[in-house]
Amino acid sequence: MMKLTMVGDSFVGKTSLALQFTQDFFPHDHKPTITDIETRVLNIEGQDVLFQIWDTAGQDKFRSLLPLYLRGVDGALLVYDVTKQDSFKNILTWISEVRKAASGNPVMALVGNKTDLKDYKCVTTQDGEQLASEQGMIFIETSAKSGHNVHQAFFEVGKEVLKRTKNGPGSTDFTDHVKVGDKDKNKRQSGCCS
């Protein structure tokens, strides 16, 4: 079993990603999450892995609960909205929260969500790749709505967790960086970001 936590600002699509992965379902309307747990079994390199996905709230008033959800976590998906620059800027704060609260060295993936909104994209793929490289994280862009790269995001995190488990604690260099997914090089759209 692997415990993964979804982390990021409100309305970046954490719940939608979790539901798309576990139920192949995209919720067209939903309320902000306080916490939820979704599960799914995925075969990774011949091994069945039960993913336990903790979906956390992005609102500031619930941030004090985050350490509870990060306790014993194997991996964290740090999600931002590619159409909202602020959600990308806040990723550094979320990275700090994960490193402070999680024990050990969990696998972290930087996930740029909502790539289906190409006309409004203002966080470039290059920006995401650079931040992931600097922070030693897996990088992938997804669309919870279309399902693009959603399963791949969880698969890559699971594969890296298994790799670290086989090699022993602390065996993976924190500066390792993995790039995943398509190379959508959309340029910044003027006026699209808040």
Q: What is the mean pLDDT of the chain?
A: 83
Average pLDDT over residues 146-162: 96
Residue 190 has what DSSP assignment?
A: T
pLDDT score at 35: 52
Q: Whose CA is closest to 80, among 20, 30, 156, 132?
A: 132
Q: Whose CA is closest to 107, among 164, 43, 166?
A: 164
pLDDT score at 93: 94
pLDDT exceeds cutoff 60 at 29: yes
Domains of the chain, with CATH numbers? 2-179 (3.40.50.300)
Tell me which H or E stretch contains 83.
none
Residue 17 has what DSSP assignment?
A: H
> What are 156's two structure tokens?
């890559």
pLDDT score at 39: 86
Highest mean pLDDT among 12-21, 96-105, 122-131, 175-184: 122-131
150 vs 139: CA distance, rounded Å: 12
| E runs forming strands in 57-180 | 75-81, 107-113, 138-141, 178-179
Dump pLDDT digits (tens) for 123-149.
999 999 999 999 999 999 999 999 999
Average pLDDT over residues 102-114: 94
pLDDT exceeds cutoff 60 at 168: no
Q: What residue type is assigned to position 113 of the chain?
A: N
pLDDT score at 96: 93
161 vs 57: CA distance, rounded Å: 24
Q: What residue type is assigned to position 184 of the chain?
A: D
**Per-residue pLDDT band at 31 (split at 50, 70, 90):** low
Q: What percent of the chain has pLDDT over 70?
A: 76
**Per-residue pLDDT band at 191 (split at 50, 70, 90):** very low
Angle at 76 between CA 133 and CA 188, to 5 degrees: 50
Q: Are 113 and 144 within 8 A, CB to CB?
A: yes
C-alpha neighbours within 13 Å on the C-beta side of residue 89? 6
**Per-residue pLDDT band at 26 (split at 50, 70, 90):** confident
Find how far residue 143's CA is from the centre of its chain. Answer: 12
pTM of the model: 0.81
Q: Are 110 and 131 within 8 A, CB to CB?
A: yes
Highest mean pLDDT among 5-14, 31-40, 144-153: 144-153
Q: Whose CA is closest to 148, among 124, 121, 181?
A: 181
